[in-house]
Structure 1
Amino acid sequence: MRFITATALAALIAAPALAQGWKDDYQVVKFGILSSENEKDRLMRNEPLRAYLEETLGVSVEIFTAGNYDGVIQAMAANQIEVARLGSSAYAAAYTATDGNIIPTLTSVAKDGSTGYYSVVLTRCDSGIKNLEDAKGKIHAFADPDSTSGYAVPYFNMVEREGFKPEEHFKSVVFSGSHEAGVTGVVNGTFDTAATYQDNDVSGIYQRMEDKGMIEPGLICKIWESPEITSGPWTFNGNLPADMIEEVTAAIESFPKNDPEGYKLYSSFNPEDANPENGFVRVDHDRYQWIVDMRDWIKDHRRSGS
Structure 2
Amino acid sequence: MLRKLMLAAAAATLAFAAPLAAQAQSYKDTVKEFRVGLIGGENASDLMTRNEGYRKLLETELGIPVKLFPATDYAGIMQAIGAGQVELAAFGASGFAGAYLDCNKCIEPIVVPEENDGSTFYYSVAVVRADSGINSLDEAKGKSLAFADPNSTSGYLIPNATLKAEGKDPEKFFSRVGFAGGHEQGVLAVLNKQYDVAVTWTSGQGDINEGYSRGNLRAMVDKKLLNMKDVKIIWQSGKIPNGPITVRTDLPADLKAKLLQIHLDLPTKHPDIYKAIERGSGKGYAKTTVELYQDIIKLRQAEATGGRKS
Q: How high is the TM-score relative to the length of structure 1?
A: 0.87
Tell me which residue corresponds to 1:228: 239
Q: Secondary structure at the match of 2:58?
A: helix
Of stretches 15-24 and 287-296 in structure 1, the one that deviates more from structure 2 is 15-24
1:260 matches 2:264:
no
| Alpha-carbon contact 1:57-1:251 (below 8 Å) kept | no
Tell me which residue corresponds to 1:35: 40
The amino acid of 1:193's aligned partner reads V
| Alpha-carbon contact 1:50-1:61 (below 8 Å) kept | yes
Residue correspondences, number: 283
Spell out the pairing of 1:127-146 with structure 2 (5 A cutoff): 127-146=132-151
In 2: Cα distance, 1:22 partner to 1:100 partner: 21
| Alpha-carbon contact 2:118-2:283 (below 8 Å) kept | no
1:300 matches 2:296:
no
1:193 matches 2:204:
no
Q: Over residues 118-150 of structure 1, what are the superposed CA-to-partner deviations in whole Å (9 max), with x where a residue is unaligned? A: 000110011111122111111101000000000
Tell me which residue corresponds to 2:285: 280
| Alpha-carbon offset, residue 17 of structure 1 | 12
| Alpha-carbon contact 2:39-2:77 (below 8 Å) kept | yes
Tell me which residue corresponds to 2:250: 239
Runs of at least 5 residues in structure 1 that lack an aligned partner in the other structure: 1-14, 270-275
| Alpha-carbon offset, residue 72 of structure 1 | 0.2
Runs of at least 5 residues in structure 2 that lack an aligned partner in the other structure: 1-19
In 2: Cα distance, 1:217 partner to 1:155 partner: 24
The amino acid of 2:182's aligned partner reads S
In 2: Cα distance, 1:303 partner to 1:186 partner: 34
The amino acid of 2:266's aligned partner reads F
Which of 148, 152, 160 in structure 2 is aligned with 1:147? Answer: 152
In 1: Cα distance, 2:25 partner to 2:259 partner: 14
| Alpha-carbon contact 1:31-1:81 (below 8 Å) kept | yes
Q: What RMSD, in angstroms, separates the aligned Cα atoms of the two structures?
A: 2.1
1:182 matches 2:175:
no
1:169 matches 2:180:
no
1:213 matches 2:217:
no
| Alpha-carbon offset, residue 263 of structure 1 | 2.1
Tell me which residue corresponds to 1:99: 104
In 2: Cα distance, 1:286 partner to 1:16 partner: 34
Which of 55, 61, 66 in structure 2 is aligned with 1:56? Answer: 61
Which of 260, 263, 281 in structure 2 is aligned with 1:249? Answer: 260
| Alpha-carbon contact 1:142-1:174 (below 8 Å) kept | yes
The amino acid of 1:138's aligned partner reads K
Which structure has the larger Rg? 2
Q: Over residues 196-254 of structure 1, what are the superposed CA-to-partner deviations in whole Å (9 max), with x where a residue is unaligned? A: 00112323322321331223441111000001111011111122222221222222222
Q: Secondary structure at the match of 1:36?
A: coil
The higher relative CO (CA closer than 8 Å, separation ≥ 6) is in 1
Q: Secondary structure at the match of 1:89?
A: helix
| Alpha-carbon offset, residue 187 of structure 1 | 0.3
Q: Secondary structure at the match of 1:191?
A: coil
Tell me which residue corresponds to 1:11: none
Q: Over residues 8-63 of structure 1, what are the superposed CA-to-partner deviations in whole Å (9 max), with x where a residue is unaligned? A: xxxxxxx9999661112212101112113222222222222211111111111111
Tell me which residue corresponds to 1:44: 49
| Alpha-carbon offset, residue 192 of structure 1 | 0.5
| Alpha-carbon offset, residue 184 of structure 1 | 0.4
| Alpha-carbon contact 2:154-2:201 (below 8 Å) kept | yes
In 2: Cα distance, 1:282 partner to 1:267 partner: 16
Runs of 4+ off more than 6 Å: 15-18
Identity %: 38
